[in-house]
Chains A and B, each alone.
Chain A
């Protein structure tokens, strides 16, 4: 254990938060500190590095318990503002998924569809305090005789509402281009023909899992910024795939780790859970997520000092390869290149388009920093860390 020159525990850092002596910097700020003073000195000085990301995260949704009414009902089909929620749970529980579309949505019949309202918007409306129309139908039982209910619900009045996102915070993601001759509309945005633009979706050096690439401090019980409130990492996310090729510094070169996160929806804000209408694709929810990385030793200081020019991803053709399940990389690019505004592909300059908001990512890292400095947010020590 004591192969490190600096050794801190979660308890020690939390004691510093309590006494107001904690030193917190963002994942952008730590880069310069480590460069200037080295990881050991940086680890002595800095206790926590905050990260952030704000982007559409489709695997999101909320468990909602809407309370009993008389006569009682065992809801089997549920709609919120005409968006179906899954009702195959106990009597008045349901799960509203972010990508569910409104019942009357023309979808992609007029291509590319607009997808103006869906699950992501229901969640945003709820956290914004708006009234949401609930309809539920049932087949009726002796204990739950009612066949149908309709009522207005507000988040405040609900017995409980829990955001439960089975896959958020992807550690790295493809850079998407389209090599066909027609514009396509994907979950990676609009892609113009013949590689007219290259879309990417990560906050790079600010992104949570790039700052702890082997999940040494992240696991069940890690307390995080989620949707504007406190939330938790509760499991590895679905499709968590740590065994992909990595750089010397351990940074995955393609999509790898993911997070399963949860939190009390009632405490969250519509500023950090934003319904997204993705043209030609569907509905999603942009989720504000930030993970504090405890600088337990100089190794963690080095990890968090990772910068955009050391983080790489693959350029993937979403016109032909991706939809046909062909795994093929057209090239490797760094986030520094992607953020510069153009990349080179086959000798041609291609305009890059971000889909993940750096402005919001930075804001999240700053808010988290502020919470910790003010002694309002303590580190959660994981019961176990995510599989590597």
Chain B
């Protein structure tokens, strides 16, 4: 399963058309609307969480873009400031996914961002404040 929070920006002409529902109809994706606003100039903004298979997800996003909708990744990621990290290990007590773990060979602390669920528990558990929340940098399609 693949899940992302997205910001969709609709040009002022498209707001009335039910574009988003096709995500579930034609692309097998489920979505939850987290926020919907229409800006003064009739431009619509929708924040949704989309879940589904990665393949369907990519196709669904291509469809939205074809409709002239601007798709932006709202997800955040947690990153480690390697200058600040002192390899104490305190964060490994709270990390539920094993993204932060002790490397047995030299007892340094490994951070594997691939495993990170962005639960943010390490952010306040890290005594040097080396773990930071950031907007996702990578473009996903």
Binding site for B on A (CB under 8 A): 54-56, 112, 114, 116, 189-192, 197, 199, 274-279, 284, 286, 339-341, 351, 353-360, 362
B89 to chain A, nearest CB (A): 4
Interface of B is mostly: loop
Contact assessment for B93 and A199 in the assembled complex, using a CB-CB cutoff below 8 Å? yes
Residues of B within 8 A of A189 (CB): 90, 93, 125
Does B124 interact with chain A (Cβ within 8 Å)? Answer: yes
A11 to chain B, nearest CB (A): 37
Given contacts A276-B127, A277-B129, A340-B104, is CB(A357)–CB(B93) below 8 Å? no
Contact assessment for A360 and B92 in the assembled complex, using a CB-CB cutoff below 8 Å? no
Question: Looking across the interface, which residue of chain B has its beta carbon closest to that of A197?
Answer: B93
Contact assessment for A360 and B93 in the assembled complex, using a CB-CB cutoff below 8 Å? no
Does B88 interact with chain A (Cβ within 8 Å)? Answer: yes
Contact assessment for A341 and B102 in the assembled complex, using a CB-CB cutoff below 8 Å? yes
Contact assessment for A354 and B102 in the assembled complex, using a CB-CB cutoff below 8 Å? yes
Does B62 interact with chain A (Cβ within 8 Å)? Answer: no
Residues of B within 8 A of A341 (CB): 102, 104
Given contacts A279-B124, A339-B107, A354-B107, is CB(A359)–CB(B87) below 8 Å? yes
Give the CA-CA distance A78 to B92 in the complex, in Å: 38
Does B97 interact with chain A (Cβ within 8 Å)? Answer: no
Residues of B within 8 A of A358 (CB): 87, 106-108
> Residue-by-residue, is B100-128 near A (CB-CB < 8 Å gives 1, otherwise 0)?
00101011110000000000000011011
Contact assessment for A359 and B102 in the assembled complex, using a CB-CB cutoff below 8 Å? no
Residues of A within 8 A of B107 (CB): 339, 354, 358-359
Question: Looking across the interface, which residue of chain B has its beta carbon closest to that of A286?
Answer: B86
Contact assessment for A274 and B86 in the assembled complex, using a CB-CB cutoff below 8 Å? yes
Give the CA-CA distance A16 to B90 in the complex, in Å: 41
Contact assessment for A360 and B129 in the assembled complex, using a CB-CB cutoff below 8 Å? no
Give the CA-CA distance A325 to B111 in the complex, in Å: 37
Interface centre among B88, B89, B94 (most CB of A within 10 A): B88
Number of interface residues of B (CB under 8 A): 19
Give the CA-CA distance A141 to B24 in the complex, in Å: 79
Given contacts A354-B107, A358-B106, is CB(A279)–CB(B125) below 8 Å? yes
A54 to chain B, nearest CB (A): 7
Give the CA-CA distance A353 to B92 in the complex, in Å: 6
Interface centre among B87, B93, B102, B125 (most CB of A within 10 A): B93
Residues of B within 8 A of A279 (CB): 124-125, 127
**Can you name 14 extra interface pairs (CB under 8 A) apart from A199-B93, A276-B127, A277-B127?**
A55-B88, A190-B90, A190-B94, A197-B93, A275-B128, A279-B124, A286-B127, A353-B93, A355-B88, A356-B88, A358-B107, A359-B87, A359-B107, A360-B86
Question: Looking across the interface, which residue of chain A has its beta carbon closest to that of B121?
Answer: A190
Question: Looking across the interface, which residue of chain B has its beta carbon closest to that of A112?
Answer: B124
A175 to chain B, nearest CB (A): 13
Q: List 24 A-B contacts (CB under 8 A).
A: A54-B86, A54-B88, A55-B88, A189-B93, A197-B93, A277-B124, A277-B127, A278-B90, A286-B88, A339-B104, A339-B107, A353-B89, A353-B90, A353-B93, A354-B102, A355-B88, A355-B89, A357-B86, A357-B89, A359-B86, A359-B106, A359-B108, A359-B109, A362-B106
A174 to chain B, nearest CB (A): 15
Question: Looking across the interface, which residue of chain B has its beta carbon closest to that of A272?
Answer: B86
> Residue-by-residue, is B54-89 near A (CB-CB < 8 Å gives 1, otherwise 0)?
000000000000000000000000000000001111
